[in-house]
Structure 1
Amino acid sequence: MTHFLRGFAALCLTFLLWVGAGLAQTDIDYDAWTKLATRAEDVIEAGRASDAALEQLRAEIATYRETFLSAQSTSSDRISTLQAQLDALGPVPEDGTEDAEIAARRTELTDQLARLRTPVQRAVEAYSRADGLIREIDTMIRSRQTDALLELGPSPLNPQRWAPALEELVGAMYSVLGEVTNAWKSDVKQAEMRSNLPLIITLVLFAIVLVLRGRRWIGRAVEYLRGKTRRGTGVWSFIVSLGMILLPLLGLVALTNAAEATGMFGTRGLILLQHVPALGAILLFIRWLADQSFHRDDEIATVHFEATRRIEARAYFSLFGVLLAMRGLLNALATTANFEPDLLAVMDFPILLVCALFLFRFGQLLTGIGRHHPEDAEPLSEVAQFRNGLARLAGRITMGVAVVGPVMSGIGYTNAGTAMVYPTVLSLCLAGVVLILQRFVNDLYRMATDKSVSEAASLLPVLAGFLLVLLALPVLALIWGARVADLTELWTRFQEGFQMGDTRISPSDFLTFAIVFSIGYFATRLLQKGLRTSVLPRTRIDVGGQNAITSGVGYLGIFLAALVAITSAGLDLSNLAIVAGALSVGIGFGLQNIVSNFVSGIILLIERPIGEGDWIEVGGQHGIVRDISVRSTRIETFDKFDVIVPNADLVSGQVRNYTRGNLLGRIIVEVGVAYGTDTRKVEKILLDIARRHDAVMLNPAPGVDFMGFGADSLDFRVRAVLHDINQGLAVRTEMRHQIVEAFAREGIEIPFAQRDVWIRNPEALVGKQAPVPEPRPEPQKDEDNA
């Protein structure tokens, strides 16, 4: 645990130093670098330096490597400018007839370019040397770590080593007590303690109150906040719950200061006292973690066991904290007494064994998550099923580690067994922290939006959870024995980026591209909104034209934003010309439909044969155009469902637009009357009905046509032009009602379909009559049976 804490602190310090080195650029002392590189090569060749010395040497080389990497981009703009000037002069004539002035200018530019490239090339060479040395040092340290991990020592199960180990442990404890006894016999120490007695009593009372009552006070405050239904309750209760760690920890610090103020502890005792706050923090943190992860309230608990299993899991987690604190105390005692590694392994084995037993039982609890879901309860969501699956997998891995770790340690592979059991416990703690922070993020989101994550179905909490997992990965690596240098090396490789032709693309280039493109994108959206709401409505451009202008500005703005972002990031895309030429063939065949629709969309936005709000007919579908994009057009039919039409069909196919330019349109109503009806009278009635309707225009005037003599009726047709063709169906319906009513008043008949059937040779259909059967006599009834 202390190794992990030191590693995490070193990681933070290394990051701050890296930032400082990036901010302060200085000239490179190549003489000092040459001496350092030569010394490093000698140390690597000798192979006798300690791990600490190698890490220190590696840190110095890494600092130089960062400087060399920065120097490679020095004067890059000036170099590009000079190269462009040389390219503008053209190639040197083969016949040697170049003008003297141009030749002199070419020589001058070439000399300037060579002077600027010299330090860059030197930095590239030095960077390669530094990178190679760092790789060799890392390989040496990893080889030593592997050898130490797989080192076979005496078995802690050997009874012959129990007595010496116990004697060493008891002797170390007696040495600490001996220092206290000798100090108590000293008059000077007693006088010092009496002078500090008021301070000691105050600190002890303060410590007792905080240690014994602090958690209870904070627990009551959290329960009070949880009982409220105010907004942000989960956030504030989480923040207050951290007092369960802080208040007792302050008590432990006060108690430690009180013990130091007595002056009764010697060198070994002071070393142990210095470890008490850190070990107490570990114990308090894991206990708080257990309470938050396996709380009795389902809304607070992050791991949903059954009620009885939740209590058991909380107890196991708390015991993990106790065992880790005991192991830390044992290691602190070992530093004061200089225990032999073999004897320390014997002392540590009981703690390891008990920890493995609890770990195995906790793994069994994890494997049972979600297996006993009640049948009458609501089915679990896919997210819950996925989490339960991960928990069961972690449980099986935990059980395997709990078995293999003690076995390997018992055989004699103490380092390997220790490196399996304790990191597994810390990994479980880290997973609990991530889940608790995810719940805290959800509570923050609910406080900000007054909606739960499930109600809002927002992506932000999911992204926050993903970010938490990414931040936990370096910590997880430190838990499992990774060096800080390993993590910083990964960050260095990420910072370097990758080489594409003559251009190195780094994460800073991507960041610059993303920032500039985002600014351009939002500026384009703001310009579109301003045009749509303030500028274009004040013009005489119709709605379709306004939408076309707005869309065109959007596409142009996004294209310019991408172009400016690429230029700002310094990305040279000229090297991609060959690749783009090769890909164009595949695009031509594989994406021809998409490209065709895209070009057709541009044509629709420019020519505007149709616009949003138009009533069109395409492919037998009638509907209103609701949206025109670069790939397709969305049409809402009169049945209120959407039809997505590719733009290529609208450009190359036949489209009827009923409302383009204006809403005028003609309707036709057909009707038939019986033979013998006065046709002039029918014409007058129909014409009056058309003229009286409010939606019918009088110029051009409506008309009635006598179409002809039908098989069943005399056929007429009413023609009328409407102010708004969108009312055509309603006008037709109303005219038909009025025609029926007017014909009924005038006694005009609307005939049914009539057919005359003529039967040829009817005598052939007459056949002979069938003989009539004679009636059968009824049987006589038996009177007795009757």
Structure 2
Amino acid sequence: MGRLAALLMLSLWLAFAAAPLAHAQLASGPAVTTDALEPPDYKSYERTAARAEKMIEDRTIVTPALEKMRGYLVEWRATLLAAQGINATRITTIRQQIDALGPAPADGATEDAEIAARRKTLTAQLAELQAPVIAAQEAHRRADGLIGEIDRVLRERQAAELLQLWPTPLNPANWTAAASALSAVAVEVFEETEQRAGTEAARDQTGDNLPLIAVLTVVGMALLWRGRRLMEALSTRLQEHASVRSGKVWALLVSIGQIVLPVAGIVALSQAITLTGMTGPRGTALVEVLPALGFFMFSANWMSLRVFPKADSQDAPLKLSAERRKEGRFYIVTFGWMIALDALRLTALNPAESDNAATSVLVFPVLTVAGVLLARIGQLCLVHMRNDTEADEPTTYRNRLIGLLGRAAIAIGVIGPVLAAIGYVSAATALVYPAAVSMGLFGLLFVLQTLIGDLYTLATRREDSRDALLPVLVGFLLILAMTPLFALVWGARLSDLTEMWTRFSEGFQLGTTRVSPSNFLFFLVLFAIGYGVTRMFQGALKMSILPKTRVDLGGQRSIVAGVGYIGIFLSALIAIKSAGIDLSGLAIVAGALSVGIGFGLQNIVSNFVSGIILLIERPVSEGDWVEVGTTQGIVKSISVRSTRIQTFDRTDVIVPNTDFVAGRVTNWTRFNLLGRLIVPVTVPFTSDSRLVEKILRDIAEAQPLALLNPPPVVAFVGFGGETMMFEIRVILRDVNFSLQVKSEINHQIAERFAAAGIAFSNAHRDYLARVAGEAEAARLAEEEQAEAMAALREGFLLQGLPSPEAAKRSPDTDAKDTTG
């Protein structure tokens, strides 16, 4: 619990998360390889390693002693890792000399005596130089193994401590031990104070420091009485009167004074008490812990106002009503008091000296209240989830996480006190307090992300930029930075984190080279420099050099693109070589993978090669009017994989480069802008074909963009059903204007034909007229037949005979009489 309390006090500074990692890097990071390194003192290391082996076998060794020995081994491991670089340059040179002699002869074969002697001498030198390196490697593996064994022992002890069954706090027989422990501490503090007050030295010290004690007391009381309220009022005023962008930032920064001023007041009071000289060892320990207790309580109060703000207008991570937010503030503040009480218990009662029964009884009430508070906070998370989700909409990812945290908090808040009641006090403590501190860290993460978003909004002068890319990335980095804090809260040892950082610093094996983060960083820096130089050279070519040459625009862009690819390749090659990464060991693996890559990336490689061909041969350039398959338009850009064509409908079509190299491509404007235009014209049979031809030739020759050599051609190409078909064929100086020229020719044809009395084809119109005439004739025939039938019916009625229709319907009527 003491470690958890210390972590909560330091959680406001994210540097705490990076401190162990930086320490590990300094303590155990690989040193720079140099031939100037001196071999380590292996005799001293052997004594340390032997003592560590005995401590591992001895189960009675206390945990602090094991951790101290582990620290010694970590230092030795770093030294031995650096010693592996001894004679590195010389070893590399001799290996190159041996390689220069050629491969060693096979069994039974011989080689020149001089070469054999030289090979033998170099091999002996290489073995002599590698001896300290091999010794360092062996000792490094031993140190690494011992560190792993110590970590295993410490983890086993930690697990055994968590599963230890203590006397149950519900047994009244154990209450006496708890009361006795508390009374013993109170009596000890009273007796120490009484004894110190009776000494002349203490009274003289109080008298000498009385003015300072009075000043510290007044300042401390003033800061405790008015400091927090003053900062809260100032924060609210800044948020109300400052601008929207800056008000939130300044309000949050000033609100930290709600922690700083009261804690400073407690520090002043504790210092005043210490200056009196009236406290003994136990009393001094209690006085010294007062600032930490105050930090817990006032930090909890500050966090409650950030997570559950009083005003509805303030940003809050949970969507709750004002009443629910008030409950949340009460729960967090109360939890701060519980942590302070438990920290006070740890200071007053040393766990190593106090009875397990007394510790169990004293821990249980505070732990139970903490569990209830944790469960209630979890319920507020579920209330937010219901308030922020409509009935007909799915739950967002953020709300699902909040709901999961809420359910976990409720479960831990119930399980923890139950375990403590049974007697598993360590396990309950390891559940409840880390869960509560984790909830506090999530709240702190929300506060920091809000601050970053407000700062970004203030810097960019926008209304609200919290959802922009940069604040989101910084928030993600914050989560990564706080991961070590979460690990420490949940029981990870600081040595576990340093060990992880050591493994990361050592890097990984790539071929015959071990690549560490420093090598990778060096590679990135060199590659970035090379890439920057390449881009600068491309800019100089594009803006200064190439425009002064006779190379066309498409060729200039191809040259700039090719220089970019070559520069990137050379930058990567130089960076790999300079970083010391040897990829020769990957040749076999690369050869095996090349077959699979050849099949899997066949299309990509084909398009890449085709793109290079396009950039070199340049059958197609940017700005050309091309036709590839069914796609026709203007080439806008050519990359190594594809070409972007903008069609005449203003849509972009991405065409693979393979289609340009392996398929049939029509380039209308690549080498010249000349192009033929064909305009079809259809006239009726009744028109004068010679007159039509003359008019069309005059129109074609009058076009400004039409070439007169060869001259335009007007061809009588054939007959239709009721028409004659002509074509105007002209060669244009710029085929890009073919549509405009065609439109102008059609306009002039309509005007000249109308002036000459030449009609266009009317076959369709004649067909419609004929169909209409036939329908009209049929209608007139039906009307005449109806009139005849009406006259006949009238005649029958005058003669007293039935109508023809009635005669047809009657079966008894004689046919002769009916017709008669």
Q: TM-score, normalised by structure 2?
A: 0.87
User: Are the aligned partners of 1:686 and 1:704 in contact in 2 as well (CA < 8 Å)?
Assistant: no
Aligned match for 1:16, one of 18, 23, 30: 23
For residues 389 and 485 of structure 2, the distance between their equivalents in structure 1, rounded to whole angstroms, comes to: 37
Aligned match for 2:78, one of 47, 51, 66: 66
The residue type equivalent to 1:710 in the other structure is F
RMSD across aligned positions (CA): 3.2
Classify 1:570/1:679 alpha carbon distance in 2 versus 1 (closer, same or farther; 3 Å).
Answer: same
Which residue is 2:387 aligned to?
372
User: Are the aligned partners of 1:703 and 1:720 in contact in 2 as well (CA < 8 Å)?
Assistant: yes
The residue type equivalent to 1:128 in the other structure is R
Which residue is 1:247 aligned to?
261
User: Are the aligned partners of 1:203 and 1:254 in contact in 2 as well (CA < 8 Å)?
Assistant: yes
Q: Report the Cα offset of residue 462 of structure 1.
A: 2.7
Classify 1:176/1:571 alpha carbon distance in 2 versus 1 (closer, same or farther; 3 Å).
Answer: same
Classify 1:26/1:145 alpha carbon distance in 2 versus 1 (closer, same or farther; 3 Å).
Answer: farther
Which residue is 1:307 aligned to?
322
Which residue is 1:484 aligned to?
494
2:40 alignment partner, SS class: coil
Aligned match for 1:38, one of 50, 54, 79: 50
Classify 1:123/1:166 alpha carbon distance in 2 versus 1 (closer, same or farther; 3 Å).
Answer: same
Aligned match for 1:621, one of 631, 639, 642: 631
Where structure 1 has 5 or more consecutive residues not aligned to the other structure, the ranges are 759-764, 779-786
Q: Report the Cα offset of residue 709 of structure 1.
A: 4.7
Which residue is 1:107 aligned to?
120
Aligned match for 1:432, one of 420, 440, 443: 443
Q: Report the Cα offset of residue 619 of structure 1.
A: 1.5
For residues 575 and 337 of structure 1, the distance between their equivalents in structure 2, rounded to whole angstroms, comes to: 56
Which residue is 2:3 aligned to?
3
The residue type equivalent to 1:703 in the other structure is P
Which residue is 1:761 aligned to?
none
Aligned: 1:652 with 2:662: yes
Aligned match for 1:261, one of 252, 275, 292: 275
For residues 671 and 430 of structure 1, the distance between their equivalents in structure 2, rounded to whole angstroms, comes to: 82
The residue type equivalent to 1:320 in the other structure is F
Q: Report the Cα offset of residue 177 of structure 1.
A: 3.2
**How many pairs align?**
768
Classify 1:307/1:659 alpha carbon distance in 2 versus 1 (closer, same or farther; 3 Å).
Answer: farther
User: Are the aligned partners of 2:308 and 2:326 in contact in 1 as well (CA < 8 Å)?
Assistant: yes
For residues 671 and 462 of structure 2, the distance between their equivalents in structure 1, rounded to whole angstroms, comes to: 47
Classify 1:158/1:31 alpha carbon distance in 2 versus 1 (closer, same or farther; 3 Å).
Answer: same
For residues 64 and 718 of structure 1, the distance between their equivalents in structure 2, rounded to whole angstroms, comes to: 94
For residues 10 and 342 of structure 1, the distance between their equivalents in structure 2, rounded to whole angstroms, comes to: 36
User: Are the aligned partners of 1:302 and 1:436 in contact in 2 as well (CA < 8 Å)?
Assistant: no
Classify 1:556/1:336 alpha carbon distance in 2 versus 1 (closer, same or farther; 3 Å).
Answer: closer
Which has the larger displacement, 132-141 or 227-236?
227-236
Aligned match for 1:601, one of 573, 596, 611: 611
User: Are the aligned partners of 2:21 and 2:497 in contact in 1 as well (CA < 8 Å)?
Assistant: no
User: Are the aligned partners of 1:612 and 1:625 in contact in 2 as well (CA < 8 Å)?
Assistant: yes
User: Are the aligned partners of 1:683 and 1:704 in contact in 2 as well (CA < 8 Å)?
Assistant: no
Which residue is 1:706 aligned to?
715
For residues 452 and 537 of structure 1, the distance between their equivalents in structure 2, rounded to whole angstroms, comes to: 44
User: Are the aligned partners of 2:707 and 2:732 in contact in 1 as well (CA < 8 Å)?
Assistant: no
For residues 17 and 556 of structure 2, the distance between their equivalents in structure 1, rounded to whole angstroms, comes to: 60
The residue type equivalent to 2:43 in the other structure is D
For residues 187 and 72 of structure 1, the distance between their equivalents in structure 2, rounded to whole angstroms, comes to: 64
Which string of whole-angstrom CA distances, capped at 9 and with x for unpartnered residues, describes residues 608-633 of structure 1? Answer: 11111111111122111112121111
Which residue is 1:401 aligned to?
412
Which residue is 2:355 aligned to?
340
For residues 555 and 218 of structure 2, the distance between their equivalents in structure 1, rounded to whole angstroms, comes to: 81
User: Are the aligned partners of 1:690 and 1:702 in contact in 2 as well (CA < 8 Å)?
Assistant: no
1:172-251, aligned counterparts within 5 Å?
172-186=185-199, 188-227=201-240, 228-229=242-243, 231-251=245-265
Which residue is 1:781 aligned to?
none
Classify 1:110/1:342 alpha carbon distance in 2 versus 1 (closer, same or farther; 3 Å).
Answer: same
Larger radius of gyration, structure 1 or 2? 2
Q: Report the Cα offset of residue 656 of structure 1.
A: 1.0
For residues 467 and 4 of structure 2, the distance between their equivalents in structure 1, rounded to whole angstroms, comes to: 39
Which residue is 2:811 aligned to?
none
Classify 1:501/1:549 alpha carbon distance in 2 versus 1 (closer, same or farther; 3 Å).
Answer: closer
The residue type equivalent to 2:758 in the other structure is I
Which has the larger displacement, 706-715 or 651-660?
706-715
For residues 351 and 205 of structure 2, the distance between their equivalents in structure 1, rounded to whole angstroms, comes to: 25
Which string of whole-angstrom CA distances, capped at 9 and with x for unpartnered residues, describes residues 127-177 of structure 1? Answer: 111111111111112111111111112111111121331232133124323
Which residue is 1:50 aligned to?
62
2:728 alignment partner, SS class: strand
Which string of whole-angstrom CA distances, capped at 9 and with x for unpartnered residues, describes residues 31-57 of structure 1? Answer: 100111111122222332111111111
Classify 1:326/1:456 alpha carbon distance in 2 versus 1 (closer, same or farther; 3 Å).
Answer: closer
Q: Report the Cα offset of residue 59 of structure 1.
A: 0.7
Which structure has more RCO (C-alpha within 8 Å, separation ≥ 6)? Answer: 2
For residues 103 and 197 of structure 2, the distance between their equivalents in structure 1, rounded to whole angstroms, comes to: 94
For residues 723 and 375 of structure 1, the distance between their equivalents in structure 2, rounded to whole angstroms, comes to: 67
Which residue is 2:306 aligned to?
292
Which residue is 2:802 aligned to?
none
Classify 1:298/1:29 alpha carbon distance in 2 versus 1 (closer, same or farther; 3 Å).
Answer: farther
The residue type equivalent to 1:342 in the other structure is A
For residues 164 and 701 of structure 2, the distance between their equivalents in structure 1, rounded to whole angstroms, comes to: 107
The residue type equivalent to 1:189 in the other structure is A
Aligned: 1:390 with 2:430: no
For residues 518 and 362 of structure 1, the distance between their equivalents in structure 2, rounded to whole angstroms, comes to: 49
User: Are the aligned partners of 2:263 and 2:295 in contact in 1 as well (CA < 8 Å)?
Assistant: yes
The residue type equivalent to 2:365 in the other structure is P
User: Are the aligned partners of 1:704 and 1:719 in contact in 2 as well (CA < 8 Å)?
Assistant: yes
Aligned: 1:576 with 2:586: yes
Where structure 2 has 5 or more consecutive residues not aligned to the other structure, the ranges are 11-15, 771-777, 799-820
Classify 1:311/1:701 alpha carbon distance in 2 versus 1 (closer, same or farther; 3 Å).
Answer: farther
Which string of whole-angstrom CA distances, capped at 9 and with x for unpartnered residues, describes residues 192-220 of structure 1? Answer: 32332222221122112222222222223
User: Are the aligned partners of 1:215 and 1:244 in contact in 2 as well (CA < 8 Å)?
Assistant: yes
Which residue is 2:676 aligned to?
666
User: Are the aligned partners of 1:445 and 1:452 in contact in 2 as well (CA < 8 Å)?
Assistant: no
2:645 alignment partner, SS class: strand
Classify 1:217/1:688 alpha carbon distance in 2 versus 1 (closer, same or farther; 3 Å).
Answer: farther
Q: Report the Cα offset of residue 337 of structure 1.
A: 11
The residue type equivalent to 1:406 in the other structure is P
Identical-residue share of aligned pairs (%): 46
Q: TM-score, normalised by structure 1?
A: 0.90
Aligned: 1:270 with 2:277: no
Classify 1:187/1:585 alpha carbon distance in 2 versus 1 (closer, same or farther; 3 Å).
Answer: closer
Q: Report the Cα offset of residue 453 of structure 1.
A: 6.8
Aligned: 1:279 with 2:293: yes
Which residue is 2:814 aligned to?
none
Aligned match for 1:159, one of 172, 177, 185: 172
User: Are the aligned partners of 2:177 and 2:357 in contact in 1 as well (CA < 8 Å)?
Assistant: no
Which has the larger displacement, 444-453 or 18-27?
18-27
2:384 alignment partner, SS class: coil
1:499-510, aligned counterparts within 5 Å?
499-510=509-520
User: Are the aligned partners of 1:235 and 1:440 in contact in 2 as well (CA < 8 Å)?
Assistant: yes
For residues 329 and 656 of structure 1, the distance between their equivalents in structure 2, rounded to whole angstroms, comes to: 87
The residue type equivalent to 2:111 in the other structure is E
The residue type equivalent to 2:85 in the other structure is S
